[in-house]
Amino acid sequence: MSTLDTPANRAPFNYLTPDLIADTIEDAFGISLKSLIYPYPSYINRVYGLQDVDNKEYVAKFYRPGRWTFEQISEEHQFLAELVRGECPVVLPLPDQDGITLQTLKLEACTPGTEEATELVFYFALFPKVSGHPFDPESDEDWLRLGSLAAHLHVTGRKAKAESRLLLDPELLHNYRETLLKEQLVPENFISDFISITDRAMELFRTHSQGLATLRLHGDFHRGNLIRAADQGLVIIDFDDMAEGPAVQDLWLLLPDHLRSSRRELELILQGYSDFEEFERRELELIEDLRFFRMVHYLHWQSQQRHDRAFFRHFPDWGSRAFWLKTIEDLQDQLLEMGG
């Protein structure tokens, strides 16, 4: 098998078809599906709604090849199991007939016009579907509830380290930047500004994070990853971005706006949090740093998906001069929010 940079490696999900997905799930979990497969709006992974012949509904997740290792995804599943034992409301992946939650699909993909063949390895999991509605906090009690839920998650998160997952620190921000530069995705006339802005952001990030503890995080704890289930209350979903980092990472994404405009909501979140866990208030200095980090993370995320068929339908101007002009302006504005 070739491991060269081929179309298959750059756009692996082009090789997943509805029939292949259905057959793979049926074989792995011993269930019989109806001919019902509908995609969820996920770009990093591929997520599908399924229904079996008994009308039971599932969610199948196919992880993007090359993004996470088997060990890293297994650590996510282990964290979910620990959270359930700690009575934190999350959704566990279903085990197969041997009790294994993480499955593997291997495909031999041929490069068009050549005899080159690439082995694509997809890891996938099956979850029970949780029906409910998005959670939009409207009252003080709702914001307190969000803080309590984050703290409940962190009680378990502090019991061990995420040994194989990403550490949200300035070095990771540096790696994202260097990848974008190495792949020559930043136009030449924007490189100097991009480097100087990110250099200053990393300097502030290092200063603000010095001496702070880290723990296992959800990593993408925004309201879109919370479901108000009819029979379970609030349920946390999608731990794909599980990481090691400061506790405030799982708080700031809940806020409706920048820190300067969200002080009231933040204080309510912290009040709810303190009912379960102590919070190091010095971490609040990291909120706008982590927002900058997320902006560069998002750029890197987009760059890794730009070969997929659907990418430019959703991001038609990605990589253009206008795109980078706005990106540099946005990064500069965010640097000012950090105090840079």
String of DSSP letters for 10-52: HSGGGG--HHHHHHHHHHHHT--EEEEEEE-S-SSSEEEEEEE
Segment 198-207 shows an average pLDDT of 98
* pLDDT of 3 above 50: no
**Is 75 part of a structural domain of the chain?**
yes
Both 197 and 334 in a single domain? yes
**Is 134 part of a structural domain of the chain?**
no
> Where is mean pLDDT largest: 40-49, 63-72, 251-260?
251-260
Q: Which residues contact 314 (CB under 8 A, 6 or more apart)?
A: 43
Which three-class secondary structure state does DSSP give residue 325? Answer: helix
Name the active-site residue from 169, 238, 250, 289.
238
**Is 239 part of a structural domain of the chain?**
yes
- Do the Cβ atoms of 156 and 242 come closer than 8 Å? no
Both 191 and 108 in a single domain? no
CA distance 139 to 136: 9
Both 20 and 42 in a single domain? yes
Q: Which domain holds residue 169?
A: 140-338
Both 125 and 148 in a single domain? no
Both 312 and 164 in a single domain? yes
pTM for the model stands at 0.90
Last residue of a domain, one of 71, 97, 129: 129
Last residue of a domain, one of 96, 129, 162: 129
Both 173 and 233 in a single domain? yes
**Is 135 part of a structural domain of the chain?**
no
CA distance 189 to 203: 23
Separation in Å, CA 38 to CA 60, 62, 81, 145, 315: 10, 13, 27, 32, 22
Tell me if residue 140 is catalytic.
no
Band (pLDDT 50/70/90 cuts) for residue 173 is very high
Tell me if residue 238 is catalytic.
yes
Q: Which runs of E-coded beta strand occur in 129-246?
A: 132-134, 215-217, 226-229, 233-236, 243-245
Segment 101-112 shows an average pLDDT of 84
Q: Is 3 exposed, middle or buried (CB count within 10 Å of its CB: 0-12, 13-18, 19+)? A: exposed
Both 264 and 225 in a single domain? yes
- The helix or strand, by DSSP H or E, that contains position 62, with its residue range, turns out to be strand 57-62
Last residue of a domain, one of 129, 159, 188: 129
Both 108 and 175 in a single domain? no
Total domains in the chain come to: 2
Both 153 and 102 in a single domain? no
Both 58 and 147 in a single domain? no
Name the active-site residue from 96, 142, 193, 220.
220
Both 70 and 144 in a single domain? no
**Is 29 part of a structural domain of the chain?**
yes
Give the residue from 324, 334, 340, 318 showing the smallest Cα distance to 194. Answer: 324
* pLDDT of 333 above 60: yes
Both 268 and 167 in a single domain? yes
What CATH number is attached to the domain comprising 215? Answer: 1.10.510.10
Band (pLDDT 50/70/90 cuts) for residue 293 is very high
